[in-house]
Amino acid sequence: MTWAFGFCHAPWRSKHLASYPSRKSFSYSNCQNKISRLVNGNLTWRERQATLHLCATQKSSTLLERVKFDRNGLIPVIAQQYDTQEVLMLAWMDREALLVTIKEGRVCYYSRSRNSLWRKGETSGQVQWLKDIYIDCDGDSVLLKVDQMGVACHTGRRSCFFNKLNGEDWEIVSPVETSPEVLYGRNSSALKNP
Amino acid sequence: MTWAFGFCHAPWRSKHLASYPSRKSFSYSNCQNKISRLVNGNLTWRERQATLHLCATQKSSTLLERVKFDRNGLIPVIAQQYDTQEVLMLAWMDREALLVTIKEGRVCYYSRSRNSLWRKGETSGQVQWLKDIYIDCDGDSVLLKVDQMGVACHTGRRSCFFNKLNGEDWEIVSPVETSPEVLYGRNSSALKNP
């Protein structure tokens, strides 16, 4: 896959994002001027980061025109292991999470319980590396092909879909592969899924 | 798979459902009495249908305790082809759609645009036969393993996820297998996805 903006190997860090200028100040010609200065080496490090970010944002606006977020600004996202085709989980993204995922090549969701970005694996190390992104015919749901490191589920199972209907009962059909205590430490008993 | 309530080979038809008594009139002991009469052959056909329906509903309440619908009474549902593992679509169910799907063994969604049950394939014939149902660790999303007849997408493609991100553009990567005109008739140009 060709990564959008070619940022796959130069991930943006959230601590940098905070220092970026407002998107309102962006214009395409302004961006072009800054690109010239960028190429000529006339920008400070911070200006360089901000310029790259703003240019990427401008392109992203076009890219995201096809993506329909709901009235809460969210879209449901399916994560599927790219080689085995196993469906790992369903989570949510906002506009920023989708852009971060595309830019970093590492999956970032939006946590509805925390009301914040949720870089998958930031605590547990169980990262999802992005392989491909699809949107559906209506543009209101996303399918990610990912390479899941370790386990996707906060219970320590490979997939979150481990409760299978058997007759009238939900039966657990997948084993715990990694203890939540190993993933999250001693306080894992109080852990909730983000 | 063992079908819940054993209704797989005796599907309930919507025209029958309309004549069922209100769920409010149901009690478990009442159900048990009716089961005795059912076994003894003392019920009319309509009473027989109503009794089976009410008993199934009572069991369903337990079954659905683990399923968390959102504040609109809906839950996102992934449909995956059971043998190839291809993800076909993401749609929504309400409580009734999930119960109908389990009872009939044929997938029924809830159409958010029509605000009504949407028996997949009722117009196009592109039915999804249910193989298995899973809920995720939080119980707030559903994964269906299905056998898709024909195509899943209203555009005539096998899967709804045919727009793949390539660089900065969404590229169509799957062919139309069946013309929408064949699926929906001459007015297919005005067709919207339910």
A33 and A80 part of one domain: no
Centre a 10 Å sphere on the Cβ of residue B19 and count the other Cβ atoms it contains: 10
A55 and A150 part of one domain: no
Judged against a pLDDT cut of 60, whether residue A156 lies above it is answered with yes
Span A145-157, mean pLDDT?
97
Judged against a pLDDT cut of 60, whether residue B138 lies above it is answered with yes
B106 and B10 part of one domain: no
A7 contacts A104 by C-beta, under 8 angstroms = yes
Chain A residues closer than 8 Å to B126 by CB: none
- Token pair 């082809």 is at which residue? B81
A60 and A79 part of one domain: no
pLDDT of B129? 98
pLDDT of B41? 54
Residue-wise pLDDT tens digits, B68-118: 999 999 999 999 999 999 999 999 999 999 999 999 999 999 999 999 999
Task: Tell me whether residue A139 is exposed, middle or buried, using C-beta atoms within 10 angstroms of its C-beta: 0 to 12, 13 to 18, 19 or more.
Answer: middle
Q: Compare A170 and B24 and report the one with higher pLDDT.
A: A170
Chain A residues closer than 8 Å to B166 by CB: 1-2
Residue-wise pLDDT tens digits, A57-93: 555 667 899 999 999 999 999 999 999 999 999 999 9
Chain A, nearest residue to B192 by Cα:
A138
Q: How does the average pLDDT of chain B come out, rounded?
A: 78
Q: How many domains are contained in chain B?
A: 2
Residue-wise pLDDT tens digits, B44-79: 656 655 555 554 555 566 789 999 999 999 999 999
B85 and B173 part of one domain: yes
Distance CA A18, CA A129 (A): 24
Last residue of a domain, one of A22, A47, A66: A66
Per-residue pLDDT band for A32 (boundaries 50, 70, 90) equals very low
A39 and A101 part of one domain: no
pLDDT of A190? 47
Centre a 10 Å sphere on the Cβ of residue B98 and count the other Cβ atoms it contains: 25
Judged against a pLDDT cut of 60, whether residue A29 lies above it is answered with no
Last residue of a domain, one of B66, B83, B100: B66
B94 and B121 part of one domain: yes
Give me A127's structure tokens: 């990262």
Give me A123's structure tokens: 């605590």
How far does the CA of residue A145 sit from the closest CA of chain B (Å)? 11
Distances (CA, A) of B98 to A126, B5, B17, B36: 32, 14, 15, 28
Judged against a pLDDT cut of 80, whether residue A43 lies above it is answered with no
Centre a 10 Å sphere on the Cβ of residue B118 and count the other Cβ atoms it contains: 20
B181 and B164 part of one domain: yes
- Which domain range does residue A28 map to? 4-66
Q: Compare B44 and B150 and report the one with higher pLDDT.
A: B150
Q: Say whether the ipTM exceeds 0.90.
A: no
Chain A, nearest residue to B81 by Cα:
A85
B124 contacts B118 by C-beta, under 8 angstroms = no
Cβ <8 Å between A85 and B89: no
Last residue of a domain, one of B39, B66, B93: B66
Distance CA B139, CA B66 (A): 6
B163 and B93 part of one domain: yes
B144 contacts B76 by C-beta, under 8 angstroms = no
Percent of chain B with pLDDT over 70: 65
Chain B, nearest residue to A78 by Cα:
B78
Give me B68's structure tokens: 């968390």
Query: Please, which residues have CB within 8 angstroms of residue B13's CB and are 6 or more apart in sequence?
Result: none
Judged by DSSP in three states, B123 sits in coil
Centre a 10 Å sphere on the Cβ of residue B142 and count the other Cβ atoms it contains: 24
Judged against a pLDDT cut of 90, whether residue A186 lies above it is answered with no
Cβ <8 Å between B5 and A59: no
Closest CA to A52 of A6, A88, A9, A97: A6
Per-residue pLDDT band for A21 (boundaries 50, 70, 90) equals very low
How far does the CA of residue B58 sit from the closest CA of chain A (Å)? 11
Chain A residues closer than 8 Å to B169 by CB: 63
A27 and A83 part of one domain: no
Q: Can you spell out the DSSP letters for B138-155?
A: TSS-EEEEEEE-S-SSTT
Cβ <8 Å between B59 and A85: no
Phi and psi dihedrals of A62, rounded to 5?
-65, -45
A97 and A150 part of one domain: yes
Distance CA A70, CA A51 (A): 30
B86 and B145 part of one domain: yes
Option in B136, B153, B165 nearest A4 (CB): B165
